[in-house]
Structure 1
Amino acid sequence: MSTFPAVLKSILEDKNVIKFGCNIQGDGTKLLKDYAIQSKSLAELSHLCVQVRTDMSTSTSSKRKIALYKMVEVLLQHELAKPRNVILSNWNNIYLSPSQVEYAATDAYATYNLARQISILQNYEDDVYRKDIYSINLHDIGKEYQIRNVKKKLCEYCEDFGLIKKRSNTFGIEHNILTTIQNLNSYDPFADTGEEDAGQPQGYIHIRIQQRNGRKTLTTVQGLPGEYDKKKLLKAFKKEFACNGTLVQDEELGQVIQLQGDQRLKVQNFLGDNGIDKNIIKIHGF
């Protein structure tokens, strides 16, 4: 992205608009480094979540945040789909695929509903976890990093800026909105694939085993579909198989992943489990 959208920049830098997220300080820091965006009023969902569900506080600390999918599971009673084939896809393309757009939109929609649900729970007088005073930390990312701690309930803070209606209407309105979050776990990342393309491989993925100097054994993977980010795949392989690896550029073969040891079967199963047809995967010997 050569230029940052002006409207989005104004929203991010507006202190009167709260931006919620999971590990949102990291997002704000990256925006500052990449585009000089000085984001204001960033609110960490983990901090708010443990105020209404103290039983989740053991899974987080000041340095470790609660995962977004976990908060969705506990507070919204839904499963937040995280298809690995979409996570590992190439996000550097100018135009994102429909699967990538839906993945990003689902995260944003879930975050929006989490903030609203927390606002509801802070109003429950009979809630076992209710506190007399809640607080919301608003992070400002800029040349001088600042945190503003507001000692009031989230819904009260939003009311001050006219972001939500008065609490007398909160229950019905918020519950109606929350009921619209449906079937997060029914997402099919390949739903946009045409019938004429189904099952028709465009090429083969080759997994080979090589032995160098009579001792060092390497597994090479080539021919991976272009929609997959090879660096992310390499990182996933190394983590999943607990091995070393590297990405090399070959003049004829293009980008080739090299993994330490014989990882052929593991790679085949990993790719198959993440949506790649095993019929287009070819395993070779020495």
Structure 2
Amino acid sequence: PYSSLAHSAAATLQLCIGHQCLIFQLLHADTVPLSLRRFLNDPRNTFVGVWNHSDIAMLLRSEHRLSVSRVVDARHVAAERNGLSPQLSMEKLAEILLGAPDVRKPQSIGVSNWNDYRLSLEQIQYACVDAYVSFELG
């Protein structure tokens, strides 16, 4: 999700493996399970995203101070391997690389209030699309 503050902390952590997505609300969690911390720090795991350069810093700024071992921006991989522009959106990468022209991540949802205790259905869908497409691009 987008943030209006350049130096904000992450409110959520979105992960996907296969067809299983996890949206972990960091802001409302008293603790982060040790198994999740170990998973994030395991150098055998690579976390793929698009325009995710600030995600590591935002996770570190969260109350839980999460660190991630390896993060890859799919835009740069697509640029190196396929000669695509490194400025492409997730939607465009999904269309070109995955043959999925219907991926939508409305900016209005991305900039909505992710600090709410109850995320809206649209926010949940947005987070799952983000995590799933990132997984597929990886």
TM exceeds 0.5? yes
CA distance in 2, matches of 1:25, 1:89: 20
* TM-aligned CA deviation for residue 88 of structure 1: 3.9
Structure 1 residue 101 corresponds to structure 2 residue 124: yes
Partner of residue 48 from structure 1, selected from 61, 77, 84:
77
How far is the alpha carbon of 1:20 from its aligned partner?
A: 0.8
Q: Is the 8 A contact 2:48 2:137 kept in 1?
A: no
Task: Supply the distance in 2 between the matched residues of 1:10 and 1:4 (Cα, whole angstroms).
Answer: 14
| Alignment match of 1:72 (pick from 82, 89, 94) | 94
Provide TM-score, normalisation by structure 1: 0.35
Is the CA contact (8 Å cut-off) linking 2:50 and 2:74 kept in structure 1?
A: yes
Structure 1 Cα separation of the partners of residues 71 and 128 of structure 2: 19
Structure 1 residue runs of 4+, over 6 Å off? none
Structure 2 residue runs of 5 or longer lacking an equivalent are 1-26
Structure 2 residue 32 is the aligned partner of structure 1 residue 5: yes
- Measure, in 2, the Cα distance between the counterparts of 1:46 and 1:84: 19
More deviation, 17-26/77-86 = 77-86
> 1:167-198: per-residue Cα shift (whole Å, max 9, x none)?
xxxxxxxxxxxxxxxxxxxxxxxxxxxxxxxx
- Stretch of structure 1 that moved more, 1-10 or 70-79: 1-10
Q: Which residue identity lines up with residue 95 of structure 2 in the other structure?
A: E
Amino acid aligned to 2:90? L
8 Å Cα contact 2:56-2:68 kept in structure 1: yes
Q: CA offset at residue 66 of structure 1? A: 3.1
Answer yes or no: is 1:36 the counterpart of 2:65. yes
Distance in 2 of aligned mates of 1:28 and 1:17: 14
Alignment-derived partner of residue 21 in structure 2: none
1:186-225 matched pairs, under 5 angstroms: none
SS in structure 1 at match of 2:134: helix
Report the secondary structure of 1:5's partner residue: coil
Which entry has the higher C-alpha Rg, 1 or 2? 1
Following the alignment from structure 2 to structure 1, what is the Cα–Cα distance between the partners of residues 107 and 47? 26
- The yes-or-no answer on 1:25 pairing with 2:56 is no
* Matched residue type, 1:93: D
State the identity as a percent: 26
Shift of 1:4: 4.3
Q: Which residue of 1 aligns with 2:3?
A: none
| CA gap 1:39/1:88 in 2 versus in 1, 3 angstroms | closer
Deviations 1:194-251 (A, max 9, x none): xxxxxxxxxxxxxxxxxxxxxxxxxxxxxxxxxxxxxxxxxxxxxxxxxxxxxxxxxx
The Cα RMSD (Å) is 1.9
Distance 1:4 1:39 in 2: 17
Quick check: 2:52–2:73 contact (8 Å CA) kept in 1? yes
Question: For residue 112 of structure 1, what is the amino acid of its counterpart?
Answer: F
**Given residue 32 of structure 1, which amino acid in structure 2 is its aligned partner?**
L
**Pair 1:71–1:36, CA change in 2 (3 A):** same
Q: What TM-score do you get using the length of structure 2 for normalisation?
A: 0.68
Q: Determine the structure 2 residue equivalent to 1:219.
A: none
Range with bigger deviation, 32-41 or 102-111: 32-41
- Give distance in 1, aligned partners of 2:57 and 2:111: 23
Distance of aligned partners of 1:84 and 1:77 in 2 relative to their CA distance in 1, 3 Å threshold: same
